[in-house]
Amino acid sequence: MSKMNRSAVQATIESEAPDAVLARLSPDMFDDRGRAVPWMARTVHRLYDMQGQKLLDRVGLPIAYWYYLRVLAERGELNQLELSRRVGVASTTAVPALDNLEKRGLVQRVRDPKDRRKYYVSLKDEGRRLIDEVLPEMVDMFALSLAGISPKDMRVFWKVTHQIEKNLIQMSQGDAALD
């Protein structure tokens, strides 16, 4: 959006009721309840987290830790900073999670011999076993969540979702490294 358009939008927002502005500016960006794409993405993500946590409760693993294990299962050994970026959390947030996962014997951290400030993180056999045990159940849960959605609609969903991802990555100017 150009600067001139941003100014016009700002002036409109300041002079009209918020609901009227949203309806007039971008009726296709909101559902019939006024929810935007980010709101729905967050809602769906939270619902997946709730269902995933039910599966992980029996192995005593918080859903937040599952993301670390999944990235490591897909990517292999990563340095701690790269892992935290791919999980989408601050590196300081990753430290206590990795401490816990390491205590449980699911991951191991090895200091980089070339740079003692860096650690590499990898799955241990028990972490791999846990992934192998729980992942099929997660996939089943995902499949059940898509009941009633045609393959054609899923292709459209993926096309749209990937375009949104591409646009947001472009907007982030290289700060995004999510899996």
Give me the tens of pLDDT residue by residue for the chain, a chain 179 residues long. 444 455 555 555 566 666 666 556 566 788 888 888 999 999 999 999 999 999 999 999 999 999 999 999 999 999 999 999 999 998 888 999 999 999 999 999 999 888 888 899 999 999 999 999 999 999 999 999 999 999 999 999 999 999 999 999 888 876 665 65
| N-term to C-term CA, the chain | 28
- CA–CA distance from 89 to each of 59, 63, 82, 110 (Å)? 23, 14, 10, 20
pLDDT recorded at residue 3: 45
37-147: CATH class: mainly alpha
pLDDT recorded at residue 125: 97
> From CA 142, how far away is CA 55, in angstroms rounded?
12
Half-sphere exposure of 114 (CA within 13 A, CB side): 2
